[in-house]
Amino acid sequence: MTLTAKDNTDPRHQIESLGFQNRRHYLEVALGRNAGLLSAADQEQLINARVAIPGLGGVGGVHLVTLARMGIGGFQLAEFDRFEPANVNRQYGAKVEHFGQLKLEAMVAEARQINPFLELTLFPDGVNAANAAAFLAGVDLVVDGIDFFAFEVRRLIFNTARQMGIPVVTAGPMGFSAAMLVFMPDQGMSFDDYFAIDEGMSLEEKLLAFFIGLAPRATQMDYIDATRIDMRAQQGPSIAAACQLCASVAATEAVRILLKRPGIRSAPHYFQYDPLVRKFHRGQLRMGNRHPLQRLKLNRLKARWLNGDGPLRVSWKPAPLVNPKATRLSGPVVDYILQAAIQAPSGDNCQPWRFRVDRNRISLYLQPEVDRSLFNVEQYASLIACGAAVENMRLAASRYGFEARVNLWPHLPEPLRVADVDFEAAGRTEDPLQSFIPDRHTNRTVYDGRAVSAQMLATLKTQCDEFPGIELDLMTDRKRLRQIAQLVWQADRIRLENRQLHAHFTNMVRWTIREALSHRDGLPLGNLEAGKGGEWFLRLTRPWAAMNACNHLGASRLIARISYNGITRASAVGLVKCRDLTPESFIQGGRALQRIWLAATREGLDFQPMTAITLFWLRWQLGRQDGFAENQRRLLDIMWPAYERLLVDDANAGQGHVMLFRIGYGRTVACRTLRRPIETFSIV
């Protein structure tokens, strides 16, 4: 279906009321500041030019507005979608007043406000094989605004344009950068030749080919979170800054082509500018994606992203909308609350919980069999995790106005019932920490040591306010951090030299992506941030005999230095304390810990638990020194006076230590941990 924009959509009467006599009079004034960069003849050529823009979303809408302001007088526009809130972060026309409105109608209105005299031909059904030729008829240039994942439509337009002798400019937002290619009909490579598209390729393979060909140097991969890219689900990150930059480079190239200025470089020439890393790359990718290096990239990405070896992605379903007057938890709301609960941290991601749902009550039970390691003395580590899960449930319920009343079972009756959480419709305001539940994660990378503001530290401390007997000790003094780092180094050395702990660790590592996807618990190898060399060492020392032999050569001392450096390079170190050693105190400590962790996430801080030292201390407090070799017990006995001097309150020697952690600013993690489906935790 093809439409010509009607005159009654034009605000020309407003122009007339301002005293402009006609189109030329208005454009002389409106485009006057282009003079000096464009001659009068240049401007006239642009006014008489016609540009086709397929797609008016992230980049397409900004293309239209930018080109209209530069004076392009005619457009062929194709778009079938409607604006919605999810478009706000990057799309020009995504405004509250436009939600639910057709993007084509909204963007035509926006363009008419810039130039009421635009000549527009509209294609409200988008572009397809039946109308592609009509869409391109009479145009001088195509500026690509198609969604990244709409590959077949893009391919159709590019190939049809080449057949019709029409140049095409594509500029893709890649991270914060703009990656641009130009396809001229009379020079360079065609779309299929450059991207090496064969008919036998799957859609996912074609998308990967487009991905690596659009930005051969891929500056964005230095900082982008690859776990957010999913070729199969056709989802990926995009930001307004890059969309705006794409419009700038594409509009400039459009002027170059339309005015026949020198410097046109057709594919296989490529251009990418990334303002975040301050890099500009341009070059010529001879043979396009058929270049041996490009083929190697493509094969590697296919193996990683399409065959189960790619970045692990955290499943997090969008929260469903519910009746704000509802007094009972609906099925979708229960699922959301449980989904939030299982995102809580647990020892080596063992996920030691089960849930029973009874109307407006969710009961949480402990599963002791999933972690019986030396770390989990009398299940205290799992109780901390259960406390974090309880707090996540409470936060998630606040999204729907439900208040959560938490009742703990401090004596843990059989079966091990930790807590009952009763939900009441109370019109509660959503807790601001709720939305950060899926983003909270452990970051084991090296931090840069930047100071954390006093305001941030105060914000973290206030998270303990609603839990009597729980407090957070935050330390930033560099001398004290070095002393704590020495203790952490000694504890990690013992961990590495303990056979039982080594067996538990290697059992919880998921050594391949397929294993991680199969189990959906434990620690994916990439999550350890060991680097390629470190991963090979971990594989080599998986048998205890190999690890023990390496320890005799000093491996445990060397590897434990990673933890030492982690503390000394941190911005701050925190210790969550509780009033005593009862299970109830540690559950409450877990709740407070989760709020602290989420608040750190909200503040943009990276977070890593340093658990060995506090869990070893807890064993000593509980009189459980079993499981350690004699030399390990002696070393721990030597450590404790320094530990008490640095971390134990003189007034409360019986205080419990829930968790030691470090915070700061690190790199984006290479890999996140996974969670099992919520139905696997259900008790009927």
Alpha carbons 40 and 23: distance in angstroms, whole number:
15
Q: Are residues 431 and 459 in the same domain?
A: no
DSSP for 383-426 reads: HHHHHHHHHHHHHHHHTTTEEEEEEE-TT-PTTTEEEEEEEEE-
Q: Are residues 368 and 340 in the same domain?
A: yes
157 inside domain: yes
392 inside domain: yes
Alpha carbons 155 and 222: distance in angstroms, whole number:
28
Q: What's the pLDDT tens digit per position in 227-275? A: 777 766 677 889 999 999 999 999 999 999 999 999 999 999 999 999 9
Q: Are residues 495 and 367 in the same domain?
A: no
- According to the model, what pLDDT value does residue 8 have? 45
684 inside domain: no
Q: Are residues 357 and 479 in the same domain?
A: no
441 inside domain: no
Q: Are residues 229 and 343 in the same domain?
A: no
Alpha carbons 621 and 403: distance in angstroms, whole number:
36
506 inside domain: yes
Beta bridge partners of 415: none
Q: Are residues 297 and 336 in the same domain?
A: no
Counting as low any pLDDT under 70, the low residues of the chain are: 1-10, 231-233, 304-324, 410, 412, 684
Q: What's the pLDDT tens digit per position in 526-577? A: 999 999 999 999 999 999 999 999 999 999 999 999 999 999 999 999 999 9
- According to the model, what pLDDT value does residue 321 have? 61
End-to-end CA distance of the chain: 54
- Label residue 98 exposed, middle or buried (CB < 10 Å: 0-12, 13-18, 19+): buried
- According to the model, what pLDDT value does residue 316 have? 65
682 inside domain: no
477 inside domain: yes
Q: Are residues 97 and 226 in the same domain?
A: yes
- According to the model, what pLDDT value does residue 349 have? 97
- Host domain of residue 474: 454-677
Cis peptide before 54 (omega within 30 of 0): no
List the CATH number of the domain containing 259. 3.40.50.720
Q: Are residues 388 and 537 in the same domain?
A: no
Alpha carbons 293 and 520: distance in angstroms, whole number:
34
CA-wise closest residue to 581 among 648, 508, 515, 658: 658
Write down which residue in 246, 273, 306 finishes a domain. 306
Alpha carbons 514 and 521: distance in angstroms, whole number:
12
Residue environment code for 233-252, b if the CB has 16+ CB neighbours within 10 A, otherwise e: eeebbbebbbbbbbbebbbe
Q: How many residues does the chain have?
A: 684
Residue 271 belongs to what H/E stretch?
strand 269-274
Write down which residue in 377, 408, 436 finishes a domain. 436
Alpha carbons 209 and 404: distance in angstroms, whole number:
49
Residue 158 belongs to what H/E stretch?
helix 151-163
What is the three-class DSSP state of 232? coil
Q: Are residues 190 and 298 in the same domain?
A: yes
Its pTM surpasses 0.85? no
Q: Are residues 407 and 474 in the same domain?
A: no
Q: Are residues 197 and 345 in the same domain?
A: no
Count H helices and E strands in the chain, helices first. 23, 19
449 inside domain: no
List the CATH number of the domain containing 514. 3.40.109.10
Q: Are residues 604 and 463 in the same domain?
A: yes
Domain count, the chain: 3
